[in-house]
Amino acid sequence: MNLSILLTFTLLYNVVLAKIHTFNWTTGWGNYDVDGTFERPVITCNGEFPWPDIRVAKGDRIEIYLTNGFTDANTTLHAHGLFMKGMNQMDGPPMVSQCPIAPGDTFLYNFTVDDNVGTYWYHSHTLGQYGDGFKGKLIIEDGENNENFPYEYDEEVSIELSEWYHKTSEELIPSFMSLFNPTGAEPIPQNLIINNTKNLTWDVKPNTTYLLRLLNTGGFVSQYFWIEDHNMTVVEVDGVYTEKNTTDMLYITVAQRYSVLITTKDDTSKNYAIMQKFDDTMLDKIPKELELNATSFMTYNSSAPKPEESYVDSLDDYLDDFYLIPYDKVEVYGEPDYTITLDLKMDNLISGVNYAFFNNITYTSPKIPTLMTVLSAGTDANNPYIYGTNTNTFVLNRNETIDLVLNNLDSGKHPFHLHGHVFQLVWRDRPYDSDLGEEPHAYNETESHTFPQYPMMRDTVYVNPQSNFVLRFKSDNPGVWYFHCHIEWHMVQGLTIVLVEDPYGIQSDPTQQINQNGLDICKSVGVMTSGNAAGNDDFFNLKGQNVQENFIPGGFTAKGIVALTFSCLAGILGLATLAFYGLMDIPDAVEKVADDLSIPLTDIVDTSTHFT
């Protein structure tokens, strides 16, 4: 066989094997009782809930026609963890790589899965929508029937974990981002769910090794996960195969995935508890009625009794993912060419609303999707200024080693996700506890640190309270990529940066030009498709750009300004107007504000005048 015949044969062979998976989805609303205690509106797919799984093999093409069936909200879809090489416009975040899809419009997400295998998910990237149910699993087989998976197993099964609210995001966001919530306390979920239900039964066969794919598709709280009297051997995290590591408990932040091997017992006389537990340190308040754990059932024998809940001695003994080793043993990349340092904090702006900041900037969407600014800016595309001064946009050169140093000045844990990449977690510091008088600990770049030889790689990782981590990755994927906290509440508060990676590489790639469908949805939603962050053709004129509110002026404390703004508002507008703006929807709103701020009620407002 000569070379050209061989090549033709190989090409044909590939064409035959690579499948196209087409989905035609319309969003909508329907009423469902997900947790068995309360019926509420959820986001449906073609009128149904939950959303379907996607299962493809590496190399396949996915085509999703997504029609916005809402009457009053935009939407978009993101395939979480997929690299989207050369296909940045299919990544999903609105005003980053595409325009929002307006009601009635259809956008075709058309991409091949070239470089990813393993456990992923898709979800709306429009604020709050995935918490309302717009999400599903996306499993990528490594070869036909997953034949290239590096470990042996008999059966495969997936389990999706999440928290669940009884109110919709539409109801929760206005009271969360309000004067009535000056500490930025996140809404408390009502339940833990599993596979979009509770009390799940997993029927298992004895003497069988299962590949169990676990996904936390929640929008807020991390979960501990364990199965009574069964070990789990981790073999994949976020699409990266690992050396085996056996544990009896996992800690899974929102957006993370773990694949584990579980070998069942050869005795079918007894059933076992599958346990989920909230990381309650992430909850500002723990209401008495909130059940912090949920029990499901690993069932060997349906006529044997259901198990009781299973306890663990300590929640501290979960597998620390820092120590996992990628199966491919990728060595720690060399010294960085470029380092981005981010200081995270939460604070109030002048309106009294609590926001999240990186380096004092709360992400404020540009007027033009950043990818379209890249494509229209010519040689100016490598100047971060044109992307706006309120978007935290960093420009990365092609094929460099990048360090992302994150200093968490906040007392909460945050799970961070980078689009378009997996990164090496080269450093993660321990938690620092303000209750023990410890100050937030920033990463000291001049100190010498020892990094693992084969750092763990994944796409979502948590930072400890008042602590820091260092992520290292290669800028080998030209595109505009979000890096953000995956707690949806913190996204709403602006905890995001944007990486413009190899802008000239984006410009010169024919497949990276915005397609007609992409241009059409912009036109429909009234967004221009060229210009700088302000929509100006003079790229160095940012007049008219979107910016955050002012900081609280010196001399005032956050508490003081909140109290002042609150009493002014109440005084000027009166109670009826506040109610009109939906600000009074929270029961005992004033008491709550006073309590959150630990100040007397009378410091906020003369209650006898305004609130009787």
Ligand X SMILES: *[C@@H]1O[C@H](CO)[C@@H](O)[C@H](O)[C@H]1NC(C)=O
Candidates 105-113, 124-132, 218-226, 485-493 — which segment interacts with Cu ion by CB under 5 A?
Answer: 485-493
Q: How far is the CB of 403 from Cu ion (least distance, A)?
A: 21
When asked if residue 137 is in the footprint of ligand X (CB under 6 A), the reply is: yes
* C-alpha distances out from residue 4 to 1, 7, 130, 359, 590, Å: 8, 5, 49, 56, 77
Element containing residue 519 per DSSP (H, E): helix 516-525
How far is it, in rounded angstroms, from Cα 399 to Cα 396? Answer: 9
Q: Provide the β-strand partners of residue 98.
A: 94
Candidates 169-177, 375-383, 443-451, 553-561 — which segment interacts with ligand X by CB under 6 A?
Answer: 443-451
**Which of 414, 417, 421, 428 contacts Cu ion by CB under 5 A?**
414
When asked if residue 139 is in the footprint of Cu ion (CB under 5 A), the reply is: no
Q: If contact means CB under 5 to 8 A according to the sort of partner, which of Cu ion, ligand X, none does residue 292 touch? A: ligand X
When asked if residue 221 is in the footprint of ligand X (CB under 6 A), the reply is: no
When asked if residue 541 is in the footprint of ligand X (CB under 6 A), the reply is: no
Q: Which residue has tokens 């009781």?
A: 308
**Which of 39, 48, 53, 433 contacts ligand X by CB under 6 A?**
53
**Which of 284, 320, 331, 537 contacts ligand X by CB under 6 A?**
320
Neighbours of 322 (CB within 10 A): 14
What is the token pair recorded at 198?
């509770």
Q: How far is the CB of 606 from ligand X (least distance, A)?
A: 33
Q: How far is the CB of 446 from ligand X (least distance, A)?
A: 5
**Which of 144, 154, 291, 433 contacts ligand X by CB under 6 A?**
291
Closest to Cu ion by CB, 240 vs 487, is: 487
Identify the three-state secondary structure at position 31.
strand
When asked if residue 490 is in the footprint of Cu ion (CB under 5 A), the reply is: yes
Identify the three-state secondary structure at position 238.
coil
Q: How far is the CB of 238 from ligand X (least distance, A)?
A: 16
Q: How far is the CB of 117 from ligand X (least distance, A)?
A: 18
Closest to ligand X by CB, 554 vs 600, is: 554
When asked if residue 476 is in the footprint of ligand X (CB under 6 A), the reply is: yes
Q: Determine how β-strand 257-263 pairs with β-strand 457-458.
A: unpaired
One-letter amino acid identity for 116? N
Local structure of residue 349 (DSSP, 8 states): B
When asked if residue 606 is in the footprint of ligand X (CB under 6 A), the reply is: no
**Which of 485, 491, 522, 534 contacts Cu ion by CB under 5 A?**
485
Closest to ligand X by CB, 178 vs 295, is: 295
**Which of 18, 177, 185, 325 contacts ligand X by CB under 6 A?**
325
What is the token pair recorded at 521?
């949805």
Handedness of CA 454, 460, 464, 470 (dihedral sign): positive
When asked if residue 360 is in the footprint of ligand X (CB under 6 A), the reply is: yes
Q: Number of residues interacting with ligand X: please give it, by CB under 6 A.
A: 57
How far is it, in rounded angstroms, from Cα 129 to Cα 72? Answer: 13
How far is it, in rounded angstroms, from Cα 493 to Cα 185? Answer: 11
Closest to ligand X by CB, 112 vs 181, is: 112
Neighbours of 480 (CB within 10 A): 28
Q: Provide CB contacts within 8 A for 579, sequence distance 6+.
A: none
Q: What are the DSSP calls for 400-427, one per residue?
A: -EEEEEEEE-SSS-EEEEETT--EEEEE
Candidates 161-169, 215-223, 317-325, 599-607 — which segment interacts with ligand X by CB under 6 A?
Answer: 317-325
- Cis status, amide bond into 103, omega within 30 of 0: no
Q: How far is the CB of 7 from ligand X (least distance, A)?
A: 20
**Which of 2, 269, 446, 450 contacts ligand X by CB under 6 A?**
446
When asked if residue 484 is in the footprint of Cu ion (CB under 5 A), the reply is: no
What is the token pair recorded at 546?
């979107």
**Which of 39, 144, 284, 309 contacts ligand X by CB under 6 A?**
309
Largest alpha-carbon pair distance within the chain? 94
When asked if residue 311 is in the footprint of ligand X (CB under 6 A), the reply is: yes
Answer whether 262's CB lies under 8 Å from 212's CB: yes
How far is it, in rounded angstroms, from Cα 296 to Cα 299? Answer: 9
Closest to Cu ion by CB, 215 vs 463, is: 463
How far is it, in rounded angstroms, from Cα 401 to Cα 398? Answer: 9
Ramachandran sector of residue 333 (left: φ over 0; alpha: ψ -120 to 50; beta: rest): beta
What is the token pair recorded at 141?
């087989």
**Which of 39, 48, 63, 154 contacts ligand X by CB under 6 A?**
63
When asked if residue 525 is in the footprint of ligand X (CB under 6 A), the reply is: yes
Answer whether 172's CB lies under 8 Å from 165's CB: yes
Question: What are the residues binding ligand X (CB under 6 A)?
Answer: 24, 35-37, 53, 63, 65, 72-74, 100, 102, 110, 137, 157-159, 195, 197-200, 202, 206-207, 229-231, 243, 245-246, 248, 266, 268, 277, 291-293, 309, 311, 319-320, 323-325, 343, 359-360, 398-399, 444, 446-447, 476, 525-527
Question: What are the residues binding Cu ion (CB under 5 A)?
Answer: 414, 485, 487, 490
